[in-house]
Structure 1
Amino acid sequence: MSAFLPAFDPDPEGRAADQTARRTEYRFNHSYVSPLAFVCDVPRRDRFPTDFTTLVLSKVITNVSNQGDGDSGLRRRLREMSNPLAGAALGTGTAVRAVAAVVGELVGLQQESRRLMSIDDYNDLFHIIGLPPISKDFEKDSTFAELRLAGPNPVMIHRVDALDSGFPVTDEHFQVALPGDTLAAAGAEGRLFLVDYQELDGIENAIAPGGQQKYLYAPLALFAVNKQTRQLTPVAVQCKQQPGADNPIFTPDDGYNWRIAKTIVEIADGNYHEAVTHLGWTHLTIEPFAVAAHRQLAPTHPLKVLLAPHFEGTLAINHMARTKLISPDGVVSKLLGGTIDGTLGLSARGVQSRLFKEQMPPETFRRRGVGSDALASYSYRDDALLHWDAIREWVAGYLRCFYRSDAEVAADHEVAGWLSEVSHKGGGRINGVEPARTLAELVDVTALVIFTASAQHAAVNFPQYDVMSYVPAMPLAGYAPAPTAKTGATEADYLAHLPPRDQAILQMNTGYMLGDTHYTRLGYYGDDYFGEPRLDELAGRFADKMLDIEKTIADRNTRRRPYPFMMPSGVPQSINI
């Protein structure tokens, strides 16, 4: 084995003292977002570096400039803080607090709360910030279907053989979208797909800062693959879980009610994305792995050396999120349809209701029935598998340099301590994590941590600008009840469901800042980072593989709706935004 894992420890007392210090510095807290695990306090070494704070400030400055009518004093202070000399003078800790302060001030800027009367009014909010491409075709049914496969939340769709009584779609409904086809045939041939937001049912609706009632819905949406075109096609939407006369099934011939129904699905998708797929399944899942690694793995342990770049910035950004985004008066409370308690409860259930070991991409796609035999084109799946295969190959090669047998893995007490603490009730509370008994098991869990912190987070974070900053494409709350009849809706009824001006600006600003900030790059550890020729050679091969994946995805994007979110050039090493 490598000298990183000595058979004889020349200074056991020193190592024990170091571990005690690390465990004192990195302590778990289970009350911030109960019952999930955070670090109590972010140690200085884990705070944002100055170049990162400067990058974020540049986004905030653009937000303020884009508004035109924003606070001039805030704009002046931001310009001063963006000066490199000022940033260096501030020092890392002060810079972090300063960024937090201006982000909070930007969130709190008073905007005019009034209804916008047309889609053009929403477009006009983008002055310096460019209009996202989704603005050109968000209203099309083909775009509605594509967002299930390549949008911010591309993990919900699953194949079904038939529908139960809770979603009583008939062939009459089905044939509006697919004439000559039948529900039974689509189910039998593996062409029927469902998106169900049942987990949102019962979450309390919130009140917007301007006093308007917000709405969060729990719809169901049915899709089928067209036999001729092989394209995924939207078939029907039911806006609430319980069927009934006042909860009709909407189809593409229902005019503005169909557009309202699709918008209700997007609102549900955005809320589930922010609470579960993004916050819960990436940010709040990786933090316990990072905290436990600090507590259980020595700084020179090969696994700690490998994982350190993939944890960079995570504790700091999660602290920022907890104090500015998911705080009682933060962005999430202002924007999302449910109350903050309901949203955080959803996040907690999302994290604790699934087993980490079952989230390896090939397994998740198999379990949802969305392999290539079912959906010929699924951008998220196709690109995610490229990353997964490359990351797992890199991790396997790296760990084989240190472990010659399964027995050596099982005997590594630091690794056992790390994985045990991640799942322990008094530690990370992540379900489905067990001590590794074999090298293959250690490779799988390590690769999944790296994949989640890099490619998976990129897939769900960066659409916040390209899709979610444009409110008509994916509002984060409804502002009118779901329709109760299939006919009679007007454009005004549709617009009444969309957020008012102040909420639209806040969603635009937040989506731009979070979804357009790229810091570090997957596969680039820095020259001689590992300090051993064999390891640096393997890391170089991994970086080369990322370049190959870049070319593959670029080629794919010439033959499909462009899906940029997993281009390696835009995938950070870690969850740092």
Structure 2
Amino acid sequence: MPSYTVTIATGSQWFAGTDDYIYITLMGTEQCSERTLLDKPLYNDFERGAVDSYDVTVGEHLGEIVLVKIEKKKYWVQDDWYCRYITVKTPTGDYVEFPCFRWLVDNKEVVLRDGRARLPQDDKTRLVKQHRQKELETRRKTYRWKEWQPGIPMSIDASRHKDLPRDIQFDSEKGVDFVLNYSKAIENLFVNQFMHMFQSSWSDFADFERIFVRIKNTISEYVMQHWKEDFMFGYQYLNGCNPVVIQKCTKLPDKFPVTHEMVAVCLERELTLEQEIEAGNIYIADYEVLDGISPNCTDPCTLQYLAAPICLLYKNAQNKILPLAIQLGQTPGEDNPIFLPSDGQYDWLLAKIWVRSADFQQHQTVTHLLRTHLMTEVFGIAMYRQLPAVHPVYKLLIPHIRFTIAINTKAREQLICECGIFDKVSLSLCFPDGIKARGVDNKEELPTYFYRDDGNRVWEATKSFASDVVRIYYSSDEMVQGDEEIQAFVKDVCSFGMQDFDHCEFPKSLKSREELTEYLTVVIFTASAQHAAVNFGQYDWCSWIPNAPSTMRKPPPTQKGMADVKLIIESLPDRGRSSWHLGAVWALSQYQENELYLGMYPDEHFIEKPVKEAMETFRKQLAEITSTIKRRNEGKKLPYYNMSPDMIPNSVAV
């Protein structure tokens, strides 16, 4: 009688093994096997990390094995099981691979397709078409859209991490508990001693060093030493946590009436301000998006203030970016003066601090939360709802949305709250287009804009990889147009995830392989490189509190000549909030255990050789970029490594 050898791999993560009963049914083109219990007497099957083999005997040949059904039934108590993959050796000696990489919970069954990626138009038989349709119907019931707050991209319909489908939960929820991690950070950084003085102000800038005791970080220490200097203020617009705000100034806005006479003393080339603008040496950072936004009031006893400043920046003869003029509100007037480097030192310092505080707020809410975390979640939910596991784009994207929905759910549960800022924000996520739109694409004009240079390299490598995969499965533009699942995916992102917002720049359909390639590049790059660039430098640039105040306790100054050290200290966060701030940026900057970096795909969703070769080419390109960045950083006091591929996780998981 014909016999098939079934090999099953159990996951190696905690609690992946099971003592429950596991049954298998092989489904062929001619007939199906009997439902078979997989059990070895006197042997503990399906242990964590185990690879177990079993013989399944049938009466007649089943034909080509196209589906495998796995069922889990309770033995004593419900015991979840994580199945990595199944391989079937046929009586003729052929091997058929069935990737799984999912949890079986309760009395659940999973039906798996073989590992070859298939577009919907590739499926010809009724059996596989029905399987594909049923999988998507089940997914749409499981992964539901929910409006978390008006004007914000849609999120998963789950209020708590434990309510999420098991497949997208963290392996260990404890490891991503924000409250627990903050507590650990505060303990590790030795700042508990200040918590009892929660609302007490510091006495002087030097006092902030008292919570800097255990920091061993070259960049943060350099920031602490030089934060008052104009060059440090300007440099962060290029390579700090929020390197997406600076743009070339081609014309001064009417709302920011800076004159040549105001800034002439700071200009080095014997040109007027207008001539400097024409020469491409003037840049601007406008925080208009913060105008009219009330900051969160975490303590009813403490007022907090937020400004929407405009900052003019000057590229001097040494190619350094320096602040030239600062207006702390959007409407010019006597109560909204333009602060200048020629003003008193404390007036100028306080104005810069207000800009840095605004930059911190915009970074956290827009650059970091909205444009990486929330957008990747939208892509992830739409992927689960519209793309079956057999689809090549599902296989391509699944590593890049790993744990994202989980981390966002934990954040909504514990960390972030309402914010009315998102309906003002443009959401173009195409990296080169964003750089060009801000007028900062010329390397000769901004030679030390490492975020741009490294980002362009990673973008091109990612796009090349996505293009390779697209061309393996789509031989023409017409195949893209005829792929009803990929069209439903992009429509779900725009029409449901983004709720057809007026400012949504995402397409509702794709017409070519080039459009599909760029779309996939946006998804992968946003979830990996862009998130890394704006997340993992938070400890570097924000741990010195005066350089990135998370809150301001006094209103912005409405006239010059009023600032002194006392006013600045009373404006900055108090001891308790400084301590929590430091713990937060430390915790948010930590890499996860067993982190998977860009190009690392240990879960082999793809089995085809051409895709594996494309992955290897991608990894080689990333390694070359890493080497280039490493050589450039040698000997630098301010090395830039946030876009180095060896430090870019595959997905938004922290």
Distance 1:261 1:494, change over 3 A: same
CA contact (8 A) 1:166 1:241 kept: yes
Question: For each residue in 1:28-66, what CA deviation from the matched residue of structure 2 results, as whole angstroms up to 9, or x when unmatched?
Answer: 001445542001022111011239828986775343243
User: Are 2:528 and 1:406 equivalent residues in the alignment?
Assistant: no
Corresponding residue to 1:4 among 104, 107, 118:
118
Q: Structure 1 557/51 Cα, relative in aligned 2: closer, same or farther at 3 Å?
A: farther
- What is the letter of the counterpart of residue 20 of structure 1? E
1:528 to 1:288, Cα distance in 2 relative to 1, 3 A: closer
**Matched ranges for 1:198-347 at <5 A:** 198-209=288-299, 211-226=301-316, 228-254=317-343, 255-327=345-417, 341=418, 344-347=419-422
Query: Which of 144, 159, 183 pairs up with 2:248?
Result: 159
Q: Which protein has the larger Cα radius of gyration, Structure 1 or Structure 2?
A: 2
- Matched-pair contact (CA < 8 Å) for 1:469–1:510: no
Which residue number corresponds to residue 202 of structure 2? Answer: 116
Deviation at 1:441, TM superposition (A): 0.4
CA contact (8 A) 1:206 1:215 kept: no
Matched, 1:502 2:582: no
Once residues 426 and 159 of structure 1 are traced to their aligned partners in structure 2, the CA distance between those partners, rounded to angstroms, is 32
Corresponding residue of 1:389: 460
Which amino acid in 1 is paired with 2:441? Answer: G
Question: Is 1:28 the equivalent of 2:145?
Answer: yes
Q: Which residue of 1 is the match for residue 433 of structure 2?
A: 363
Distance 1:16 1:527, change over 3 A: closer
Deviates more, 1:34-43 or 1:411-420: 34-43
Say which structure is richer in helix: 1
8 Å Cα contact 1:59/1:517 also seen in 2: no
Question: What residue number does 1:335 align with?
Answer: none
User: Contact 2:400–2:650 at 8 Å: present in 1 too?
Assistant: yes
Map Cα deviations across residues 105-142 of structure 1 (whole Å, 9 max, x no partner).
xxxx8662210112222121134343623222111100
Greater shift, 383-392 or 425-434, is seen at 425-434
Whether the aligned pair in 1 keeps the contact of 2:387 and 2:486 (CA below 8 Å) is yes
Match of 1:66 among 189, 204, 215: 189
State the secondary structure of the residue aligned to 1:67: coil
Over 3 Å counting, the alpha-carbon distance change for 1:35 and 1:150 in structure 2 is closer
Structure 1: gaps (5+ residues):
72-108, 328-340
Q: How does 1:73-222 map to 2 (within 5 A)?
A: 112-130=198-216, 132-133=220-221, 134-179=223-268, 180-209=270-299, 211-222=301-312
Counterpart of 1:75? none
In the alignment, what sits opposite 1:93?
A: none
1:513 corresponds to = 587
Per the alignment, in what secondary structure is the counterpart of residue 631 of structure 2? helix
1:55–1:517 Cα contact (<8 Å) kept? no
CA contact (8 A) 2:151 2:422 kept: no
Are the aligned partners of 2:285 and 2:311 in contact in 1 as well (CA < 8 Å)? Answer: yes
* Aligned CA distance change for structure 1 residues 465 and 252 (closer, same or farther; 3 Å): same
2:489 aligns to what? 418
Mapped to 2, the partners of 1:249 and 1:127 lie a distance apart of 37
Contact 1:288 1:422 in 2 (8 A): yes
Would the alpha carbon gap of residues 120 and 142 (structure 1) be closer, same or farther in structure 2, given more than 3 Å must change?
Answer: same
Structure with more relative contact order (C-alpha pairs < 8 Å, separation 6 or more): 1
Residues 1:448 and 2:522 are matched in the alignment: yes
1:53 pairs, out of 169, 172, 175, with 175
Q: Report the TM-score when normalising by structure 2.
A: 0.75
Q: How many residue pairs get matched? A: 518
Deviation at 1:454, TM superposition (A): 0.4
User: What is the CA-CA distance between 1:516 and the residue it aligns to?
Assistant: 2.1
TM-score in terms of structure 1 length: 0.85
User: Which residue does 1:472 correspond to in 2?
Assistant: 546
Tell me the equivalent position of 2:556: 482
Out of 248-257 and 10-19, give the one that drifted further. Answer: 10-19
State whether residues 117 and 495 of structure 1, in contact with CA within 8 Å, keep that contact through their aligned partners in structure 2. yes
Query: Could you tell me which amino acid in structure 1 is paired with residue 235 of structure 2?
Result: E
Q: Is the 8 A contact 1:60 1:513 kept in 2?
A: no
The Cα of 1:157 is off from its aligned counterpart by 1.0
CA distance in structure 1 between the partners assigned to 2:320 and 2:580 by the alignment: 35
Code of the residue aligned with 2:554 in structure 1: it is A
State the shift of 1:528 in Å.
4.9
Which residue in the other structure is 1:81 paired with?
none
Q: Counterpart of 1:89?
A: none
Q: Distance in 2 between matches of 1:479 and 1:410?
A: 55
Could you tell which deviates more after superposition, 482-491 or 216-225? Answer: 482-491
The Cα shift of 1:282 comes to: 1.0
CA distance in 2 between partners of 1:129 and 1:416 (Å): 49
Question: How far did 1:201 drift?
Answer: 1.3
Distance 1:417 1:36 in 2: 18
Deviating more after overlay: 252-261 vs 109-118: 109-118
* Contact 1:196 1:219 survives alignment (8 Å): yes
Which position in structure 1 is the counterpart of 2:639?
562
Cα 1:33–1:136 shift into 2, 3 Å: farther
Q: In 1, Cα distance between the equivalents of 2:642 and 2:533?
A: 5
Whole-angstrom distance in 2 between the partners of 1:269 and 1:320: 25
Residue type matched to 2:143 in 1?
Answer: Y
Shift of residue 299, structure 1, vs aligned partner: 0.7
Contact kept, 8 Å, 1:32 with 1:38, in 2: the verdict is: no
Identify the structure with the greater strand proportion. 2
Contact 1:237/1:249 (<8 A) preserved? yes
Confirm or deny: 8 A CA contact 2:117 2:392 kept in the other structure. Answer: no
- What is the letter of the counterpart of residue 214 of structure 2? I
Q: Which moved more, 1:528-537 or 1:383-392?
A: 528-537
Q: Whole-Å Cα distance in 1 between the matches of residues 407 and 482 of structure 2?
A: 34
In structure 2, what is the equivalent of residue 18 of structure 1? 135
Q: Distance in 2 between matches of 1:527 and 1:291?
A: 20
Deviations 1:10-33 (A, max 9, x none): 422222222111110000001445
Secondary structure of 1:499's aligned partner: coil
Deviation of 1:7 (Å): 4.0
Q: Which amino acid aligns with 1:114?
A: S
Task: Say if 1:30 and 1:38, in contact at 8 Å, map to a contact too.
Answer: yes
SS in 2 for 1:8: coil
Counterpart secondary structure, 1:555: helix
Matched to 1:279, the amino acid is L
Q: Secondary structure at the match of 2:189?
A: helix
Summarize the Cα distance change of 1:536–1:60 in structure 2 as closer, same or farther, 3 Å threshold. farther
Specify the code of the residue in structure 2 equivalent to 1:44.
Answer: R
Distance 1:427 1:174, change over 3 A: closer
Task: Pick closer, same or farther for the CA change 1:212–1:39 going to 2, 3 Å.
Answer: same
* C-alpha contact 1:39 1:315 (8 A) present in aligned 2: yes
Task: Give the equivalent residue in structure 2 for 1:104.
Answer: none
